[in-house]
Amino acid sequence: MSDTAAAIEQLVTDAYAVISGPAGAERDWAAMRALYWPEARMTALRPTGSESCTIDEYIAGKRAFLTDNGFGETALVNRVEVYGDIGHAWSSYDGAWTEADGTTGATRGINSFQVRRDQTGRCRIHSLLWLVETPACPLPADMETRR
């Protein structure tokens, strides 16, 4: 694995870690912002349409949910490709949280991380596009199991 591919693997790991934590634990939003380019976009594709936001809009909209319910998300399988100063990580994920009534919620899907390397050689996320798994759109078999 190249140094850049390894850096992208770590960036993906860090992106999952920064939004994950137990209920009541404030996330390190400065650390999250540092993983992304300032103009980065985050876009969720849903059966009802898409929702796109900046990093600050994501934090404003998800802060209470992530902190109040606890939330953990980890990679199942990452596929990383690099060409020059751009990279891509196709990352299946598994996530869970606790609802106010104590029941557990769960999610899986695929995150598509587009990554750019800056002049100093540091990789940051340029954009993130994700799709939650549904019965009509299950994870591909080779992206289901943590390796």
Q: For position 110, which CATH number holds?
A: 3.10.450.50
DSSP designation for 136: T
What range defines the domain where residue 47 resides?
3-143
Reported as a single tens digit per residue, the pLDDT across 26-49 is 999 999 999 999 999 999 998 889
Tally of domains within the chain: 1
Spell 125-135 as b/e; 16+ CB within 10 A means b. Answer: bbbbbbbebee
Kindly tell me if the per-residue pLDDT of 14 is higher than 80.
yes
pLDDT digits (tens, 9 = 90+) for 47-72: 889 999 999 999 999 999 999 999 99
Percent of the chain with pLDDT over 90: 90
pTM above 0.75, yes or no: yes
7: which 2 tokens? 């850096």
* Concatenated DSSP letters of 24-48: TPPP-HHHHHHHEEEEEEEEEEETT
pLDDT, average across residues 14-28: 96
- Confidence at residue 111, expressed as pLDDT on a 0 to 100 scale: 98
